[in-house]
Amino acid sequence: MQELDIAGMGSTRVTRKGNNLVVLEKDLQTEQMVLAMGPQHPSTHGVLKLECLTDGEVVTHAEPYLGYLHRCFEKCCENVDYPAIVPYTDRLDYLAGMNSEFAYAITVEKLLDIEIPRRVEFIRVIVAELNRIASHLVAIGTYGIDLGAFTPFLFCFRDREIILSLLEWASGARMLYNYIWVGGLAYDVPADFNKRVMEFVTYFRPKTVELYKLLTENEIFVKRTRGIGIMPADVAINYGWSGPMLRGSGVKWDLRRNDPYSVYPELDFEVPVPDGKVSDIGDCLSRHLVRALEMEESLKIIEQCIDKMPSAEGFNARSAVPKRVRPKAGEVYGRAENPRGELGFYIQSDGKSTKPLRCKARSSCFVNLSAMKDLSKGQLIPDLVAIIGSIDIVLGEVDR
Partner 1 sequence: MSEYFRNIKTGAVTIATGLGITLKHFFNAVHRKGDAGVDDVDYFRQVDGLVTLQYPREVIPTPKNGRYRLYNAIEDCIGCGQCERACPISCITIETIKVAQDDMALCGKTSDGQQKKFWVPVFDIDVAKCMTCGMCTTVCPTECLVHTPVSDFSEFDRSNMLYHFGNLTRLEAESKRNKLAEIQAKAQAEKERKAAEAAVAAAQAPTQEEPKSDGE
Partner 2 sequence: MEEGQVISQSVQQSAAAYAIIKDKFGEAVSAFDANETMPFFEVLDLSAWPEIALFMRDNPKLQFNYMACLSGVDYQSEEKVGIVCNLESLGKLNHRIAVKVKCARTGGSIPSVAGVWHTANWHEREAYDMYGMLFSAHPDMRRILCPDDWEGYPLLKDYKVQESYHGIKVPY
Partner 3 sequence: MGLLDAGIKNHNVLVTSVDNVLNWARLSSLWPMGFGLACCAIEMMATNASNYDLERFGIFPRSSPRQSDLMIVAGTVTMKMAERVIRLYEQMPEPRYVLSMGSCSNCGGPYWEHGYHVLKGVDRIIPVDVYVPGCPPRPESLIGGLMKVQELIRMEQIGISRADALKKLAEKSVDPQFVIESERNAASA
Query: Which residue ranges make up the site for ligand SF4 (CB under 6 A)?
Result: 91, 176
Query: What is the rounded CA–CA span in Å between residue 371 and residue 373?
Result: 6
CB of 141 to partner 3, least distance (A): 9
| Residue 361, beta-bridge partner list | 345
Residues 48-87 close enough to bind partner 1 by CB under 8 A: 76, 80-81, 83-87
- Applying CB under 8 A, among 56, 72, 203, 351 the residue interacting with partner 1 is 203
Q: Do the beta carbons of residue 82 and residue 104 sit within 8 Å?
A: no
Residues 216-235 close enough to bind partner 1 by CB under 8 A: 217-220
- State the binding string over 321-350 for partner 2 (x if CB under 8 A, else -): ---------xxxxxx------x-x-x-x--
- Applying CB under 8 A, among 148, 172, 232, 330 the residue interacting with partner 1 is 172
Say how many residues touch partner 2, by CB under 8 A: 42
Instruction: Indicate the DSSP class of residue 189.
Output: P
Q: Do the beta carbons of residue 100 and residue 343 sit within 8 Å?
A: yes
Task: Report the DSSP pairing between strands 184-185 and 330-338.
Answer: unpaired
C-alpha radius of gyration, the chain, whole number: 22
Instruction: Indicate the DSSP class of residue 244.
Output: H
| Positions that interact with partner 3 (CB under 8 A) | 39-42, 46-47, 67-72, 75-76, 78-80, 87-88, 91, 94-95, 138, 153-155, 157-158, 160-161, 164, 174-176, 395-396, 399
Q: Which residues of the chain form beta strands (DSSP E)? A: 13-17, 20-25, 33-37, 49-55, 58-65, 180-181, 184-185, 330-338, 341-349, 358-362, 379-380
Amino acid at 22: V
- Which of partner 2, ligand SF4, partner 3, none does residue 332 bind to, with CB < 5 to 8 Å depending on kind? partner 2
Whose Cβ is closer to partner 1: residue 99's or residue 178's?
Answer: 178
- Which of partner 3, partner 2, ligand SF4, none does residue 95 bind to, with CB < 5 to 8 Å depending on kind? partner 3
Q: Does 75 bind partner 2 (CB under 8 A)?
A: yes
Q: Do the beta carbons of residue 271 and residue 229 sit within 8 Å?
A: no
Q: Does 306 bind partner 1 (CB under 8 A)?
A: no
Query: What is the rounded CA–CA span in Å between residue 190 and residue 70?
Result: 36
Residue in 50, 51, 53 with CA at minimum distance from that of residue 7: 53
- Which of partner 2, partner 1, partner 3, none does residue 47 bind to, with CB < 5 to 8 Å depending on kind? partner 3
Please report the DSSP string for 37-90 in residue order. E-SS-TTSTTT-EEEEEEETTEEEEEEEE--TT---HHHHHHHS-HHHHHHHHH
Query: What is the rounded CA–CA span in Å between residue 260 and residue 206?
Result: 30
- Applying CB under 8 A, among 130, 186, 255, 386 the residue interacting with partner 1 is 186
- State the binding string over 271-310 for partner 2 (x if CB under 8 A, else -): ----------------------------------------
CB of 202 to partner 3, least distance (A): 20
* Residues within the interface to partner 1 (CB under 8 A): 76, 80-81, 83-88, 151, 158, 161-162, 165-166, 168-169, 171-173, 176, 178, 186-187, 190, 192, 196, 199-200, 202-203, 210, 213-214, 217-220
